[in-house]
Structure 1
């Protein structure tokens, strides 16, 4: 059914009339609408127009149409430019046959006493040796072309030239052998006969030379005009103007060496200007293999012109990115190892700070051996860079917001996943960045107030004494057990009291620049001594600061750090403090990192070439909490929770356990004046279950001896065995107190 709205006349309706009635008509009485031929034609035209717009808007079609429209003008330009191209072609041919340009270049170098003169002179000699062959080839080609032209258009001249050639050929052959008048007459007769034959039959021979059709000359003439016209155009002249098409900004085109050199000339660097482009291209050396494709971008190495350094290009990194039409985070110029003018350019497909990063292997395996190399950072190619944390003294510097705390926390998490490592955290900033490490920390100290600093100083002094005790203990071990005279993975497994310490100090300036000058001096002394002597004792420093300066990180301290990371800093002074003297001049310019490149740093050390690296992205507080929870469970299972992590009380979080004091306490509890090692081991396990769970008699004897106490024979129940006297322990304590 169809509803038909009846028309209503308002003049015939009363005020209370609701409107016209709805009349329902049968479907058969309603006319069905059908499209007319005219409507179909209009729709077809609209569809064709839309298709045409779609096709024309494609880059290939748009460029083709532009070239077609400008073809007449392009042809006229080629005709106008062809005379200049002909002159250039003659000049190029002359230079190829006579080496005029190379000779002039060598002469200029000789006048200037240039160091490259000898090399250029040798190259010129090699070129001159090949000139005779080139001239013979060109001469034969020209002679054949002249003969062919005469055969086509002047058969008589062709015959005459052929006869003369026959006479000359016979004469040249006969001259060396004809001596008598008779011989000369015979040779002359032969020459005249052959010459007459060549002249007489020359026109017939010319007719045998195939003559190309007329269209070949038209094509050849057109190609000559195109070639000479293209050769004769100026550097900034374009044959046609291509339309400006929409460009995908995320699409990185393959660079070329000429493209990079042209971009360098637009940076405003002295002697690198667009006006000197030809000279710059001539003096710039592209190191083989040129532009090379790597995993995530392109590499190019250049030797820049005289007196132009790679450092000047690095300072113009933002301008270089603009000249290359690439995102800033994808353009990475650096100084190569050859000399200051050796430029190494890496153009990545995507910015380093946003490029995909593979999952951190440690987060997947969740198990670490601190004495092995660990994948910690990624380079510009997205490859994992390993770091062996054991024996490393690590220095990290970067201004606020550069990502410094992420580096510190990441290394702390890696250490936590080796249950043997004891973490000592000194957080001078006290903003919560290091809090994720608290559940596994042997000692966790926060704050920069006077009483907090005093507590931390006491902890560091006790750590220093532990370092000295370890050094004495290591000297007592036999050479076959300790060949390297340092704490190793095997020694830690055998002697748990040698468990390595990773000492994390965040915001060093709060300690070495403390308002209490005496305390600041003591902090500086301890940190310097730990950085110098703690390596072999298994006590390793990780120091971070957002204010790298000589007063904060003295030379005597920072010279002991073998591994350094410099994130974004203010200027070259800060770079030199963190990475070392000469680093800024060598191209390690961390001050050029932008705010959007947080987490990027220059990494120097570990016997590797300096490189830009990035920390693990996404390792925020919750992610760290998850990994630390795994680390804590691992330690609890093996009974290796120690210090504050074992007691959850700050006052019990002793940095070191004095085994001499524990032995004395165990003997006093039992009112014993002497005891054997076999008795003391279970007593100590009862005193500190988590600390002495793996203690054995030999280890106890070695540690007591390392403390300066000689064992004695102790008789218990009629049996003499090695042990210790309480009086000897008291003497040691009295010496310390004195």
Structure 2
């Protein structure tokens, strides 16, 4: 096959190059382009295409944007100047401010603006009355001025005539004045025409400048470098621009009226972010700004969790704004400081987290208690485990945990715990209630002992705890505590016991930690939340859960964990009570334990804590839980007596098993014995319990149990 030669392009001939390139394979001959094809397209079609191409060309678009921009600058400037002139000559501004104050419910502010408007109208009326009398005063002043001027010039002329001995000098000053006026009129006549011709253009230039400064053109017409010039640094200009575009009606009107923020505290660098304070205009509250928190964060190029607008407790009307660095939540948290070495002191606290500013957060233990909540997987356990690991690194501290669920979070700590109970059945709930009962008695006993050791004003110290083992610090965890407080049988009692213990425990070295995934008014008693010193909210579903953890009204005040994203902001929480600030956003330390990956940082800490206990006298073991058997226990307390008064039976039961029967009454005893037909009855007008009935019931139950075992073997 012959090779086809295709002339691709002409190149300057050189020794090493050629203008003809030979392809290694056959290429069919291409048809020559038709030179008459354009002539076959109608003229009107070609004209339309040319016009369309010209209209859609980038240069045409750019020119159109430039023309629209500068035209709108003039129109917008005229509108702004007209608005200012109207506000300056009328009471419109005062009327607007009165309406804004009335809408915001600020009656006193409305009255103040009404008074200012009345004063403005009075002054305007006075100016108008003065203008009516101005022509007469002007004519009189002109006549008097002309007379004084002529007299002065004649006096100067007379002085010159006497001095020069020339009578004609008398009119010399007057003639000089006439010449000056003549030349002035000539100059004005020359300049007046051009000035009159240039005046409209000067006015247009002034309007254009006003419109340009206020960016009166639409967004699409602005230059590329002015369409969105937001910066990641939230300085005063960026914050003002962000507020301008929040879409809050009263705030928009304030900006239109020329309001500019008054900076109580300028923007300064604070940790891993920026802090500023500014006074909001009348009619605009911090709650309104919080309602637009997502928009505010967007305007500042941040995530909602990285922007915190609040109102300082002692500065009403002031917006306190802290803006974190971009991506500060995604940075890795430093390892727990006590991971490989170190001990703790219950009375000084333990490290549990870092703030968004990068500062260490210390979890107080002495005179403190905790409420920790959030949805599943939000990181609650990471903070609680850090607290407990820190606590057990003090050899004096005893730890108990009652978990109303089946999870393994606390299992590695069990060797160092005094008690670990898990489960959500009635038996485990009863154990947790019994623990609260013991704590109620213990705080009372510790209070008496503390008074004996040092008097009424003494506080528990490490020295006192070392001196008497009965005063050793104790940390008690109730995880999934909503199961406890919502229990049909024990819920009400548990709530009452919890409040009683919390009110006294802080003084005597007992720290309670409540953990829940359901922080609502029904699941967590309000008195429990009110008496909690340290509140921690990980990601929550709504403002009800948020306020159930952090306290009523916190969501409206901007202290909210609803902006935390589940699965993304794991370990991040909004806290109250850890520092002197109204709230802190913290990221808890994570002590890793993942058996599937062979990672276990918890066990070495527990082993180190056990080693620190050498030489510390162990406390008596807690009673092992055994379900109460009312029928057998009643038979035991009756002994050989045929009948015993019901009240006496209840008293003996309380002594026999205080944990189970301390709170029992007549109805509880009847409810327990009635299914067996052994309940109390009246004898001689008094309520008694019969031994024979109880023994018969036990024999009948044994027979039933034997029958059931026989059936099982069939």
TM-score normalized with structure 2 length: 0.60
Aligned length: 544
Which residue number corresponds to residue 115 of structure 1? 109
1:541 aligns with 2:512: yes
1:257 aligns with 2:230: no
Which residue number corresponds to residue 326 of structure 1? 302
Q: Distance in 1 between matches of 2:76 and 2:453?
A: 88
Q: Distance in 2 between matches of 1:284 and 1:654?
A: 67
Quote the offset at 1:321 in angstroms. 3.3
Q: CA offsets per residue over residues 293-335 of structure 1, 9 Å max, x none?
A: 4333333445555554433443443344345443344333334
- SS in structure 1 opposite 2:601? helix
1:626 aligns with 2:605: no
1:507 aligns with 2:480: yes
CA contact (8 A) 2:267 2:276 kept: yes
Correspondence for 2:367 among 388, 391, 401: 391
Q: Distance in 2 between matches of 1:310 and 1:404?
A: 30
Q: CA offsets per residue over residues 386-432 of structure 1, 9 Å max, x none?
A: 33221112122222222222222121122122222111111222211
Which residue number corresponds to residue 322 of structure 2? 346
1:428 aligns with 2:404: yes
- SS in structure 2 opposite 1:485? coil
Q: Distance in 2 between matches of 1:87 and 1:511?
A: 67
CA contact (8 A) 1:470 1:498 kept: yes
Q: Distance in 2 between matches of 1:339 and 1:395?
A: 28
Quote the offset at 1:438 in angstroms. 1.9
Q: CA offsets per residue over residues 6-32 of structure 1, 9 Å max, x none?
A: x9xxxxxxxxxxxxxxxxxxxxxxxxx
Q: Distance in 2 between matches of 1:342 and 1:201?
A: 62
CA pair 598-317 structure 1, distance change in 2 beyond 3 A: farther
- SS in structure 1 opposite 2:614? coil
Q: Distance in 2 between matches of 1:643 and 1:382?
A: 39
Q: CA offsets per residue over residues 530-579 of structure 1, 9 Å max, x none?
A: 21222222222111111223443324433332222223333333333333
Which residue number corresponds to residue 463 of structure 2? 490
Q: CA offsets per residue over residues 452-486 of structure 1, 9 Å max, x none?
A: 4455555554444443432332222244xxx6434
CA contact (8 A) 1:459 1:654 kept: no
Q: Distance in 1 between matches of 2:150 and 2:339?
A: 91
CA contact (8 A) 1:504 1:542 kept: yes
Which residue number corresponds to residue 475 of structure 1? 451
- SS in structure 1 opposite 2:388? helix
Quote the offset at 1:487 in angstroms. 1.9
Q: Distance in 2 between matches of 1:642 and 1:250?
A: 62
State the superposition RMSD in angstroms.
Answer: 5.7
Which residue number corresponds to residue 438 of structure 1? 414
Q: Distance in 1 between matches of 2:76 and 2:295?
A: 36
Gap regions ≥5 residues in structure 2: 2-13, 21-57, 124-144, 192-197, 625-654, 663-714
Which residue number corresponds to residue 723 of structure 1? none
- SS in structure 2 opposite 1:540? strand
1:569 aligns with 2:540: yes
CA pair 123-736 structure 1, distance change in 2 beyond 3 A: same
1:529 aligns with 2:529: no
Quote the offset at 1:493 in angstroms. 2.8
Q: Distance in 2 between matches of 1:230 and 1:374?
A: 61
CA contact (8 A) 1:442 1:643 kept: no
- SS in structure 1 opposite 2:446? helix
Q: Distance in 2 between matches of 1:504 and 1:85?
A: 67
CA pair 245-109 structure 1, distance change in 2 beyond 3 A: closer
Q: CA offsets per residue over residues 581-606 of structure 1, 9 Å max, x none?
A: 33344333333432233333332236
What pairs up with 1:14-93 in 2 under 5 angstroms? 74=66, 78=70
Which residue number corresponds to residue 100 of structure 1? 88
CA contact (8 A) 1:440 1:641 kept: no
What pairs up with 1:112-191 in 2 under 5 angstroms? 115=109, 171-172=148-149
CA pair 346-68 structure 1, distance change in 2 beyond 3 A: farther
Which residue number corresponds to residue 675 of structure 2? none
Which residue number corresponds to residue 358 of structure 2? 382
Which residue number corresponds to residue 231 of structure 1? 210
Correspondence for 1:242 among 216, 223, 229: 223
Gap regions ≥5 residues in structure 1: 1-6, 8-32, 40-65, 130-167, 213-218, 645-651, 657-732
CA pair 489-175 structure 1, distance change in 2 beyond 3 A: farther
CA pair 322-625 structure 1, distance change in 2 beyond 3 A: same
CA contact (8 A) 2:392 2:609 kept: no
Quote the offset at 1:505 in angstroms. 1.2
CA pair 287-342 structure 1, distance change in 2 beyond 3 A: same
CA contact (8 A) 2:413 2:606 kept: no
Q: Distance in 1 between matches of 2:114 and 2:18?
A: 81
CA pair 121-538 structure 1, distance change in 2 beyond 3 A: same
CA pair 91-557 structure 1, distance change in 2 beyond 3 A: closer
Quote the offset at 1:507 in angstroms. 0.9
Which residue number corresponds to residue 586 of structure 2? 614
Which residue number corresponds to residue 523 of structure 2? 552
Q: Distance in 2 between matches of 1:466 and 1:91?
A: 74
Which residue number corresponds to residue 54 of structure 1? none
CA contact (8 A) 2:339 2:605 kept: no
